[in-house]
Amino acid sequence: MSSSNSSNFPIPSAIDNLDQLTNSSGDWNRFDLGDVINLSTEEETALPGEKIDESFPTSPLPPSFPLYQGGMKGGLKYPSSISVTSFDRTPANNVEEISIEPSNSETPLATEETSLEAQSTIRLTSRRIATGLDQPLFVTAAPGDTSRLFILEEKTGEIKILNLNTNQILNTPFLKINASELLKDGFEQGLLGLAFHPNYANNGKFYVNYTSPGGGDAGQTKIVEYRVSNNPNLADSTTARTILTFNQPAQNHNGGSMEFGPDGNLYIASGDGGGSGFLPGVPDFSGNSQDITNNLLGKILRINVNSDAFPNNPNRNYAIPSNNPFVGKTGDDEIWAYGLRNPWRMSFDRATGDLYIGDVGQNSREEINFLPNTSSGGENYGWKYKEGTLPYKKPTASFTR
């Protein structure tokens, strides 16, 4: 679904040419059949259920939206009317919601490249539920907990609780990483990730990902296990147990996302170590992504936190799943997938178990990478040789796209 806020994309009261409506960058906004579009209330005169004719110069809300994608303009057909589906004047943002609908089945929305069928109107609304936060970067909930949200603040090192029954942030943080333990001065460093154990309701375990002093030139990434105290709104800071560490050569591309998969293993996203691609005079660590030996950077890692295969190593309190792709062969046993630049967020599809990985591009492409639940691991997503679908450096390997 695409939407346009009238404060960012002004809509004149009369437009006689669809080509006139572009965004501030000159790009076409894509509106599909059934999309909800925000318009200024100053131009809204119709009531819910009324039809607005397509006569552009006289319509109070002209349906003058680019209904094509990628700049394709040939073969267009437009709905001859639109329906006003709501008339809720919201003082906070001063917008109305309407939906594009065909006046009859003879007027499908189509382009030379794409044919779209009518669909039900989908309405998305936003509502502010919390204020007073300091650089929040992630929100999650404990398994089965529908009354609280846990909010990470990157630079304070605090995890705060939002009570969804009162919409109030609790005064005392759930957890605060000790100031001497948190390396936060780097612009992409600090408290970066949180994942609750699938059996949290019984064992009270959760895991945080943050940057800490020591290790490499820019500190180290630490994955640490904690347990909740007898008070469900307070973690027990004395239960901290290091699960895994790896060094960071630069202050950016530290990744940080963590998720438990349907298999019960913990998946950890790591950046490639930072730098700035291949700019003259700027250190480049992007080669880490293709290096799978003694190198956990630029990867998706997969570990078993329910066991400890390294009892003599205080910084390795986990086990390797036996079916990880590089077990028994060249490559670090922890690696599940590689060839990533800075996978800052990932998420499992609850229905299918598929994994979606959001990865930051260099200059031209951002990536959403797909890893199906049927995967046996070992996918190479291409960086530094590929940026999205574009070649970046001459490839020397095959990639998963």
Q: H/E element holding 168?
A: strand 168-169
Return the higher-pLDDT residue of 76 and 377. 377
Judged by average pLDDT, the poorest of 64-73, 122-131, 137-146, 347-356 is 64-73
Mean pLDDT of 74-82: 33
Closest by CA position to 207, among listed 188, 191, 193: 193
**Chain segment 269-278, per-residue pLDDT in tens:** 999 998 765 6
Q: How would you list the strands of the sheet with 95-100, edge to edge?
A: 36-40, 95-100, 81-83, 51-53
Mean pLDDT of 231-239: 98
Answer for the pair 208, 226: CB distance below 8 angstroms, yes or no.
yes
Q: Which two tokens stand for residue 134?
A: 């300091």
- Domain extents for the chain? 1-127, 136-391
Task: Give me the amino acid identity at 7.
Answer: S
pLDDT of residue 112: 31
Quote the pTM value.
Answer: 0.70
How far is the C-alpha of 36 from the C-alpha of 27, rounded, in Å?
19
How far is the C-alpha of 354 from the C-alpha of 289, rounded, in Å?
22
pLDDT of residue 256: 95
What superfamily in CATH does domain 136-391 come from? Answer: TolB, C-terminal domain (2.120.10.30)
Tokens 């329906």 — which residue?
83
